[in-house]
Amino acid sequence: MTGKQRKQFWNVIQITLILIAAFIMLIPIIWIFLAAFKTHVDVYQLKLFFTPTLENFGTVFDAPYNLGNKLINSTIVAGVTVLFAIPIATCAAYSFSRFRLRFETSMLVMILATQFVPAVVIILPFFVMFRDLGLLDTRLGLIMVNLAIVMPFAIWMIKGFIDGIPLETEEAAMVDGSTRVQVIRNIVLPMAAPGLFTAGIFCFIIAWNEFLFALILTNKDAVTLPIGLALFKAEEGDLWNLLSAAGIIIMLPMFILALIIRKYFVQGMTMGAVR
Amino acid sequence: MAQVLLKNITKRWGDFVGVDNQSLAVADKEFLVLLGPSGCGKTTTMRMIAGLEEPTSGEIWIGDHVVNDDLPKDRDVAMVFQNYGLYPHMTIYDNIAYPLKVRGTPKADIKPRVEKAAEQVELTEFLHRKPKALSGGQRQRVALARAIVRTPKVFLMDEPLSNLDAKLRVTMRAELKHLSRQLQITTVYVTHDQIEAMTLADRVAVMEKGVIRQLGTPDEIYNDPSNLFVAGFIGSPAMNLINGSVKDGYFITTGGTRLVKVDGGDRAKVILGVRAEDVDIHESGQGDIDVLVYAYENTGESVMLTLQFGKQRIIAKGDRHLRKDMDDVVGLRVNPDHLYLFDSETEERIRY
């Protein structure tokens, strides 16, 4: 074999290995994807070729499942969480990044430490608290919980992006005639935008997929999509075809967001290139 | 158009003293260079003038106002940063226009002024690009254009040339000099490069450890250093500094060599300063003393000889056609007209 042939040979091997790995990881998703288009009878047969049906997607939105309500709940809860989390986290991150604060390190560690506590440990106090406040089974309650979950993450992530903006750029803007607020609006926010966007999407995904708190704190009105999946456990067994259809509806926004992130992620990482 | 006045300025961070009770007056339209090694407080001094750093004590005047409590934006200064501090998300046009926009200049005025500034630094064809698409020298010029687009009271430049390669630095230095003569605006310029200081400055303030060690014209700083630090810092190669004493009208090195005639009476512990160009090299036997060639370096424009007698070494600058080898014996004579004596204890200049 010549050098070039050998290189090609290894390329083929590499690609094959990658494909195998990807295939293994994708099996569950492929299975769900196929099952979503099968009839209840076909699900239990590992058929790759079958007559696809869109019936499942219709059924999940009908009574008694009413997945539409859950979709609305999930969208509102995740959306509002991001809407509040990003501006608040940006303020916090900017302060941590640019000002010398008292107990700065301790505060940063404490913020992160809230993430170390297993959700199961604090879920009961939450339940009691929310019951007393009348926040059980409300979207507002879920939004508050999700905010608490995503904030530390958002603060740390956005702080990283703001740290990457050279201080000189801000100082230049101040000498050029800007107030601190103008510096933040004209310089920091545009430069950190890819970072804010990335953080926002990550927060949305976390809130969208949040399961445990939603499971305990909701039962009817504010049920979100992940909890809604439990509806498809019927007397005749698990309704895999409906479950799969609902699963795809949950995953779809994630796929779209992942594609958007990819573009911004690269932007975010090359942002500091101008010196 | 304004003078800048620092009155007893001190900057302390905890126990660390950045600038120690210094006063400095920069005259209207003067180009003053703050020169010193890194960590000497020169940048801190400039940042205090800009308002990016608050002095621990003392007063800062720009024009006829105390500006201590003014925000940077209200001080009417323009600053060029070492890393340029450009706005990467804006085009060159918007970068240059920013100081005008943010100060509420009428839209109709902005365009001609940006174009004029861009023309002065030869950037006209790049106005639509982003900083990322420019070279280091071009970015530097954007930073300059952004500073000159307004007519500020004071220009502040913080090592603006230090990120450029050697060749570009020389070109930009000349451009800066030309520009500053044209604009006639009070300028404070920070650098650790003595060539920049010598070539650009009307006056140089040499700083060390938060203290201005000497303030004077480039000529004074070079030819009439007032203390050991300035003498050793200015000049390339650095001035020869030789420990010894003065006895019977001669300077005697610590090693006991009678080197050169010095007036002004006997002194126990002194340091003699001689610039390399004031050390003459002769054939063996024709100088005051015979010395060994320790190293011979040809820089092209001149030759540099490191000469050794006893444990003492001394650097001499010779004619570019001079050819010597290691361990050759040459005659050495120190020109007695350009000598500097310093007190070993106080490091101050002894004038005689």
pLDDT at A80 over 80: yes
3-state SS string over B238-281?
CCEEEEEEEECCEEEECCCCEEEECCCCCEEEEEEEECHHHEEE
Taking the C-alpha atoms of residue B315 and residue B305, their distance in angstroms, rounded to an integer, is: 6
Q: Output the pLDDT for position A265.
A: 65
pLDDT along chain B (352 residues), means of 10: 90 91 93 92 93 93 92 92 91 94 91 91 90 90 92 92 86 89 92 92 94 94 93 90 89 85 84 91 85 90 89 89 86 88 90 80
Q: Output the pLDDT for position A220.
A: 85
How do residues A228-265 score in pLDDT, each as one tens digit? 887 787 766 778 888 889 999 999 888 888 888 777 76
Q: Output the pLDDT for position A272.
A: 45
Rounded to the nearest angstrom, the gap between the alpha carbon of residue A93 and the centroid of all alpha carbons in its chain is 20
Residue spans of the domains in chain A: they are 3-36, 65-273
* B86 touching A (Cβ < 8 Å): yes
pLDDT at A162 over 60: yes
Given this structure, which CATH class describes domain A65-273?
mainly alpha
Indicate the residue of B73, B79, B83 with minimum beta-carbon distance to A275. B83
Indicate the residue of A169, A175, A186 with minimum beta-carbon distance to B72. A175
Cβ contact (<8 Å) for A273 and B73? no
Q: Which helix (H) or strand (E) holds B66?
A: strand B65-66
Domains and CATH numbers, chain B: 4-233 (3.40.50.300), 240-350 (2.40.50.140)
What is the ipTM, given to two decimal places? Answer: 0.83
* B285 touching A (Cβ < 8 Å): no
Percent of chain B with pLDDT over 90: 58
Q: Output the pLDDT for position A274.
A: 40
Which residue of chain B is at minimal alpha-carbon distance from A170?
A: B85
Taking the C-alpha atoms of residue A9 and residue A1, their distance in angstroms, rounded to an integer, is: 10
Q: Which has more confidence, A154 or A257?
A: A154
Taking the C-alpha atoms of residue A244 and residue A209, their distance in angstroms, rounded to an integer, is: 16
Confidence class of residue A1 from pLDDT cuts 50, 70 and 90?
low
3-state DSSP assignment of residue B343: strand
Q: Output the pLDDT for position A270.
A: 55
* A68 touching B (Cβ < 8 Å): no
For residue A271, list chain B residues with Cβ-Cβ distance below 8 A: 88
Q: In the β-sheet with B31-35, what is the strand arrangement from edge to edge? A: B77-80, B154-158, B186-191, B31-35, B203-208, B211-216
CA A187 to chain B, closest CA, distance in angstroms equals: 7
B202, B185 contact by CB (below 8 A): no
User: Quick count: other Cβ atoms within 10 Å of Cβ B29?
Assistant: 16
For residue B84, list chain A residues with Cβ-Cβ distance below 8 A: 168, 172, 275
Taking the C-alpha atoms of residue B19 and residue B47, their distance in angstroms, rounded to an integer, is: 11
Using alpha carbons, select from B204, B227, B229 the residue that is nearest to residue B217: B204
Measuring CA to CA, how many Å separate A45 from each of A36, A59, A196?
A: 13, 21, 46
Q: Output the pLDDT for position A268.
A: 58
Measuring CA to CA, how many Å separate B84 from each of A156, A171, B93?
A: 28, 11, 15
